[in-house]
Structure 1
């Protein structure tokens, strides 16, 4: 996504930089195996999520639309971002030399694969953050204002917000190259991914680091607000649970309280927020440290791949926290058992 690495053009004969995961042949094989398994996990998990959400009428709701948008963003990481890294690393192992395009940044050639893959990774990460924020807001309204939920949260408004989140996220992803001639994209030998870097200049200009710091500032502002909203919603749920024990026999209290399904959904979104925040934090720490002059090559590898691995966690969280999703996924994956149950 973002890395302020060495600005000069790489020497074509220079070997890939050694990291803790990529020094020996065994480490390289394990790294490629991890990448391939990650691709399979991302594709499987998010395709299941899309099949359940789009194929089940129960999930044709604003919340379901947002989950589908999140799954598409994660799916793009598995289809475009990780496979390019697999190709580069397998090519390096087989030929003992890196692909030629990894020796240059995007300012040095007419077309560079990272011109496409870099913004996709950054854009999908931003889409994930904004979608989780929208999910949190949607659930907070359902919990805090249950009587206004259906009038405030509509499919049309949700669809518009999803489109705006994608357009805004990808505009922000390409903005470093659009608004600064000092920033390019390159395949970084530390992170094993396409990252933002300096172009052909030798010093780190203030304008460039201000643009690069825009990403963590925007992301953590959004994530911070999302965490606060989650805390408010979960605190309200806790208070509601306490009141429900004391007022269990009063029917008049039930009309202004959130439904049990809304409460469970809010807790699920809270878990999603915690998981994504934990995955994104190393990247933000690395970008800030890198701008201040720290290289942190090994940390770079783990930070970027922890974030990429988050793309396969959502379906696990849904399966653990959402019983209806779990049942629908089970029926989808085990059609023979569903037929046997129906016959019985």
Structure 2
């Protein structure tokens, strides 16, 4: 450890060389999973006319946010941990370098926060879009247009970016540094943070507000789907020839997929929200910080997995895109 640097508490993930290597391997595999899954998602959505819809645009926005984490955030942690492993710790990873010019964390930290905010806001917009398709299927085309969806996507990105940098712009008690516990660029308290440190509570407050709205919208959509299914079953028993106008099967399936995404994000975000609140109250929680931040980061490769499992057309198109690569690898072998 460099002279003059504060001692870092020994964590489960950093005490031995074996654990350090395993953590580094986990990061590398996570990068590959994020890049592959979201690159295929974008290729399927943007390269297939069937998926170029308002719903597809929202899924593409979610994939871009996840892809940004794999391109700008996780590789920085890999570089830092690799350098530390070979005994050449970069200057910017030390806690006393937070004011250094062109600090990498000044970019990676807000990007990670913004992508997290974009993810939850996009999931919320997906829930709204699916609820309209389920509750008002005849008006779906008139209400859900590509132009309106594009405006909402741009607004969610701009709002998330502004909120991500707001702690740095409106608080003198907050800085960005590479945290030895979480293995990631985090917001950190300065020597005398005062009450301004509480501005970080904006992140869990915003995410939980949208998450609560998403759960409510999904509950309304699923309730409508259940009522429609019962009504259709009763009429089918009375008269097999009669049909009830209702949501398409694809809309119903997509609504259930959004519900699965909401549960996945809630499970991955809850630990980081608990950590932020505890950190504001003065708790360090070194081991827990690693678990919280990397659980949230792992969610960046889960969205593509959820879609591939739930959407058969998506799986078929992805297999078609990957078929030439498989054929090339087989021919080389």
TM-score by length of 2: 0.93
Offset of 1:253 from its aligned partner? 4.4
* Residues 6 and 95, structure 2, Cα contact 8 Å, conserved in 1: no
In the alignment, what sits opposite 1:264? 253
Residue from 212, 215, 219 that aligns with 1:224: 212
1:213 aligns with 2:197: no
- Structure 2, unpaired ranges of 5+: 328-333
Question: Aligned pair 1:254/2:254, yes or no?
Answer: no
Tell me, yes or no, if the aligned pair for 2:181 and 2:287 is still in contact at 8 Å: yes
CA distance in 1, matches of 2:194, 2:6: 26
Q: 1:22 aligns with which of 14, 27, 31?
A: 14
- Structure 1 residues 187 and 142 mapped into 2: Cα distance closer, same or farther (>3 Å)? same
Instruction: State the 1:244 CA deviation.
Output: 1.5
Q: Does 1:145 align with 2:133?
A: no
Q: How does 1:64-75 map to 2 (within 5 A)?
A: 64-75=56-67
Partner of 1:78: 70
Give me the whole-angstrom Cα distance separating, in 1, the residues matched to 2:222 and 2:235. 20
Whether contact under 8 Å (1:15, 1:98) holds in the other structure is: no
Correspondent of 2:161 among 170, 180, 196: 170
Regions of 4+ moved over 3 Å = 10-17, 104-107, 249-253, 335-338
Contact kept in structure 1, 2:173 and 2:189, CA below 8 Å: yes
8 Å contact 1:142–1:258 — kept in the other structure?
A: yes
Q: Counterpart of 1:114?
A: 105
**Matches of 2:17 and 2:325, distance apart in 1:** 43
Tell which has more relative contact order, 1 or 2 (C-alpha 8 A, sep 6+).
1
Pair 1:36 & 2:28 matched:
yes
Aligned length: 324
| Partner residue, 1:60 | 52
Cα deviation code 1:21-63 (max 9, x no counterpart):
1110000000000000000000000000000000111001000
Q: For structure 1, which runs of at least 5 residues remain unmatched after alignment?
A: 1-9, 339-344
RMSD: 1.8
Q: Aligned residue for 1:326?
A: 315
Match of 1:125 in 2: 116
